[in-house]
Homo-oligomer: A and B are copies of this chain.
Amino acid sequence: MASDMNLKPIGIVRNGITDARHHGWRDVISEIIVEEALAGALGGLEECSHLIILYWMHRLTAGRSLPLTVHPGGHPELPLVGRFATRSPHRPNPIGQATVALLGRAGNVLTVKGLDAIDGTPVLDIKPYMPKYDAAPDARVPTWLTRL
């Protein structure tokens, strides 16, 4: 199964940020430079107020040798929980996912707000945010999350 799961970037993040930070991304403005050959696949995207961006966290430690448990957000006072129960960026498959606001589009360049990815991050996919698929208005979250 899945003998060939290789990715090719469709674009790249530009925002001038070179340090991976845990917080402060909400107001960051980024450009996503989509490959020219794929610009035609962006038509109509500007009708969406929000997008889901999948990206490759190319500078972070990843893979199967990571500890299975982690303190959420790196806070030692929070309980150790399984890595998949957290949004730690260090994961077996280092795919990041962010819901961002689309501020504008000029040809193959999207301007977005709230993307938590450093400058140079390869972008894997761009999807329109659709509440009927993506929202879970009644979601219950772990108690530790309320202490972050």
Query: Which residues of A approach B to under 8 Å, CB–CB?
Result: 1-2, 5-10, 12, 34, 37-38, 40-45, 47-50, 52, 54, 56, 58, 64, 68-69, 79-87, 91-93, 95, 97-99, 101, 120, 122, 124-131, 133-145
A140's nearest neighbour on chain B, judged by CB, is B49
Distance of A105 from chain B, by nearest CB (Å): 10
Identical chains bound together, number = 2
The 5 listed contacts between A and B (C-beta, < 8 Å) are A42-B85, A44-B81, A47-B85, A48-B141, A95-B95
- CB atoms of B41 and A133 under 8 A apart: no
| B-side contacts of A2, CB under 8 Å | 7, 9, 56, 58, 122
Distance of A76 from chain B, by nearest CB (Å): 16
